[in-house]
């Protein structure tokens, strides 16, 4: 039996969704290994990962001489996201999930979130304190940049993401069916440093994972898959299929995923 190891560079710096867009070539490379949409010449990628018409096209378009036009087409203080110098602000994103309900607020102000995702910009190097208040069920804990149930404090040395879970202890937070048209097996699962879950295995035919469709071409033909799921909600972040009989195990060192293939005898 042969054991084939392959390495998938899938760690993303900043935006967690590898199907988002990017403005520059360097931007594209750092946000994921595939699925990146490069905006056309007259559009730029905004902070939400959407190609939009820029507010400014050159530094001269910004009325304040202390501001410049950054790669997202927005007038910002000099050095903020322009690609030269250090950023003066970074984005803190908060994702609220679970069967319960509650609110997340911040000191200094900028974050007020009770469901889904919200974000705010904070001065580089500043410390942001997040407070939680459960209104239905209890607070189950923080994820991503903060852990546990104690106070969450984030230093804005880069773009940051924090998850907040409300619900009842011991309940199933989410469940995900990974199945194709034919027979299918799950062989490996690993948690990433960001708090997401990556699973691998084999399937036959067509397999639907939220907005992602994987295919082997025939219900009788097997292929391997690797898929990443949001640790708070179970939503598929990305999914890939490979023309191999099966992918057997998956591991991560925090920067890359390592997947092993066991070919048939």
User: 150: domain CATH number?
Assistant: 2.60.40
Instruction: Assess whether the previous peptide bond of 178 is cis (omega < 30° from 0).
Output: no
**Is residue 231, in this structure, part of any structural domain at all?**
yes
**Same domain for 210 and 240:** yes
The domain boundary residue, chosen from 49, 77, 105: 77
- 110 to each of 81, 93, 100, 122, 246, how far by Cα in Å? 19, 10, 23, 8, 46
Q: Is residue 195 part of a domain?
A: yes
- Paired residues of 143 in beta bridges: 163
Residue 151: closest CA among 143, 160, 142: 142
Contact 96, 104 (CB under 8 A): yes
255 and 212 within one domain: yes
CA distance 147 to 51: 33
Entry pTM: 0.54
- 222 part of a folded domain: yes
Domain boundary among 52, 77, 102: 77
The verdict on residue 179 lying in a domain is no
Alpha-carbon distance 263 to 137, whole Å? 48
Asked whether residue 249 falls in the same domain as residue 192, the answer is yes
Same domain, 204 and 251: yes
- Segments forming the whole domain that contains residue 192: 185-261
Domain count for the chain: 3
Per-residue pLDDT of the chain (265 residues; tens, 9 = 90+): 333 333 333 333 333 344 467 655 555 544 443 445 677 767 777 666 677 777 777 666 777 766 777 766 777 766 544 443 345 889 999 999 888 999 999 999 999 999 888 999 998 889 999 999 999 989 999 988 898 888 899 999 888 999 999 998 887 777 888 877 777 888 889 888 777 889 998 888 888 898 888 988 788 888 889 999 988 888 898 998 888 777 778 888 777 778 877 666 5
**Is residue 139 included in any domain, yes or no?**
yes
Within-domain flag for 4: no
Spatial CB neighbours of 28, under 8 Å, sequence gap ≥ 6: 22, 36, 38
């Amino acid at each position: 039996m042969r054991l084939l190891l392959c390495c998938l560079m899938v760690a993303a710096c900043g935006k967690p969704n590898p199907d988002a867009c990017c403005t520059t070539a360097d931007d594209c490379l750092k946000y994921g290994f595939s699925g990146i949409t490069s905006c056309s010449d007259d559009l730029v990628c905004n902070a939400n990962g959407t190609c939009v018409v820029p507010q400014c096209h050159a530094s001269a378009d910004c009325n304040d001489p202390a501001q410049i036009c950054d790669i997202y087409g927005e007038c910002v203080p000099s050095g903020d996201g322009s690609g030269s110098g250090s950023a003066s602000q970074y984005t803190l994103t908060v994702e609220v999930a679970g069967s319960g309900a509650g609110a997340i607020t911040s000191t200094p102000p900028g974050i007020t979130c009770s469901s889904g995702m919200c974000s705010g910009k904070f001065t580089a190097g500043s410390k942001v304190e997040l407070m939680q208040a459960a209104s239905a069920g209890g607070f189950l804990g923080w994820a991503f940049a903060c852990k546990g149930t104690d106070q969450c404090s984030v230093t804005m040395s880069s773009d940051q993401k924090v998850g907040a879970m409300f619900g009842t202890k011991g309940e199933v937070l989410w469940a995900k069916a990974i199945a194709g048209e034919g027979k299918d097996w799950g062989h490996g699962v690993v948690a990433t440093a960001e708090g997401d879950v990556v699973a691998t295995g084999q399937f036959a035919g067509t397999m639907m994972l939220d907005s992602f469709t994987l295919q082997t071409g025939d219900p009788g033909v097997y292929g391997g898959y690797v898929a990443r799921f949001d640790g708070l909600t179970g939503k598929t972040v990305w999914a890939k299929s490979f023309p191999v009989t099966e992918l057997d195990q998956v591991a991560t060192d925090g920067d890359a995923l390592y997947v092993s293939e066991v070919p048939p005898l």
